[in-house]
Amino acid sequence: MLAGLTGLAGLVGCAGSAGTDAASADVKQVLDRRAAAVRDGSERAFVATAPPGSVAAAERAEARTGFRNLRAVPLTDWSYRVTGFHRTGERATADAELRYRIEGYDRAPVVTARTLSLVRAEGRWYVSDDRPAGDASRQLWEQGAVVAVRGEHSLVLGVGQSRGTLRGYADLADRAVPVVREAWGAEWPGRVVVLVPKSLEGMAELLGAPASGYRGIAAVTTGVVSEADRGSPRPEAGGGSGKAPADRIIVNPDAYGVLGSLGRQVVLTHETTHVATRAATSAATPLWLSEGYADWVGYLGTGRTAAQAAPELTRAVLDGRVPDALPEDGDFGFGGDAGKLARAYESGWLACRMIAERWGEVRLREFYRAVGAHEKRAGAVEAGLREVLDTSSGEFTRLWQAYLRDRLV
């Protein structure tokens, strides 16, 4: 039995009013019916939660379209938990948490904040609007009808994309999973969900962020938790505490579409690595390590040399501008200096590549886990270097600088 609406007492306006108590109970029932309609795949029951009559034809048509947009998504859970209720006469607003899970992929419900407008007609309450609350991000099905393509290890959900295009994403993701499993280990589920909106603007809506910050970025992997807890996605990562119930690889089709076949595979393998390493990535993990490791896995088996895969850093080293230190998290920010961003990614990749060559791939994985196991950032890298690689921060930086000169010049 799925969780229904709870916690209305104490959240309603005009607490203690018999009329408000009755209204809150009625709203609970209509939202329970709406959730059950989604779970049961009943368009008729879903549309019946919208206002009746000819004057509400637009609301019923919108409900029908919304249901059909969502129909292809393989959901196993869908429920609402009301967090606030405000009534004015025959109209009301409910603040709620929508909880849903994609069958076979999400370990726990995804939670997103919603605002529902309701109207009372013919003695019953109906949902006239259901939208993201405040700064909460939109869901893919709010952008149009979702097309779903299943791969061996992947589920690709797209809007405004042909089934053939989405099949291409599934094939790339299916090739990425075994590579990541070989590098990282088999303790993660080995399944990925890829969201492909119609455009850069659609990607930004899914992330709840301005499109300008993701222009030129081919994909982002974000752990989906409650809107209040998720914060801003880390560049192509998501970071996180390892408690996120679901990861989504969100594609920017504008930037991804201009990549060649190798670039597309590297990007999907990179993002899949973030999904695999989620549980071992924490606030203690610097971006140079999480992004560098994902790039290291992404380039495995491609035959790309250091200079070929790190052109910006190669130019800097050839000009005598060897970095003084590994990049800070701020160096990975979107929307700024593209060259600086590229050098940050390339620096992290070459640091991880050096560890794999000098200490071995197993030690690289152990180092990643050791750093993420710390409760806070301060001292995490230093402890990992000492305990796993038997070196110091200063010596590691000197070795990395020498590695850059040797591989890039």
- List, for residues 158-216, the tens digit of each pLDDT value: 999 999 999 999 999 999 999 999 999 988 999 999 999 999 999 999 999 889 888 88
* The predicted structure's pLDDT at residue 18: 46
**Residue ranges matching CATH 3.10.450.50 in the chain:** 18-136
> Region 324-344: what's the mean pLDDT?
88
**Residue ranges matching CATH 3.30.2010.30 in the chain:** 137-278
> Region 368-397: what's the mean pLDDT?
97
Residue 265 confidence class, pLDDT cut points 50, 70, 90 = very high
Q: Which of 182, 217, 215 is CA-nearest to residue 365? A: 182
Give dist(CA 301, CA 316) in Å, integer. 26
The domain 137-278 having CATH identifier 3.40.50.620: the answer here is no
* The predicted structure's pLDDT at residue 54: 76
Give dist(CA 292, CA 344) in Å, integer. 9
Q: CA 96, 131, 334, 300 torsion: positive or negative?
A: positive
At position 191, the amino acid (one-letter code) is R
* The predicted structure's pLDDT at residue 338: 84
pLDDT at residue 133 is higher than 80: yes
pLDDT at residue 117 is higher than 50: yes
* The predicted structure's pLDDT at residue 245: 55
Instruction: Say if residues 220 and 214 touch (Cβ distance below 8 Å).
Output: yes
* The predicted structure's pLDDT at residue 112: 94
Higher pLDDT, 307 or 5: 307
Q: What is the pTM of this model?
A: 0.88
Non-local CB neighbours of 34 within 8 Å, separated by 6+ positions: 46, 49, 80, 127
* The predicted structure's pLDDT at residue 214: 87
By mean pLDDT, which of 144-148, 211-215, 375-379 is the weakest? 211-215
pLDDT at residue 10 is higher than 50: no
> Region 209-235: what's the mean pLDDT?
64
For domain 18-136, the CATH class is alpha beta
Residue 352 confidence class, pLDDT cut points 50, 70, 90 = very high
* The predicted structure's pLDDT at residue 397: 98
> Region 229-248: what's the mean pLDDT?
44
For the chain, give the percent of residues with pLDDT over 70.
Answer: 89
By mean pLDDT, which of 97-101, 108-112, 196-200, 323-327 is the weakest? 108-112
* The predicted structure's pLDDT at residue 234: 36
> Region 267-289: what's the mean pLDDT?
96
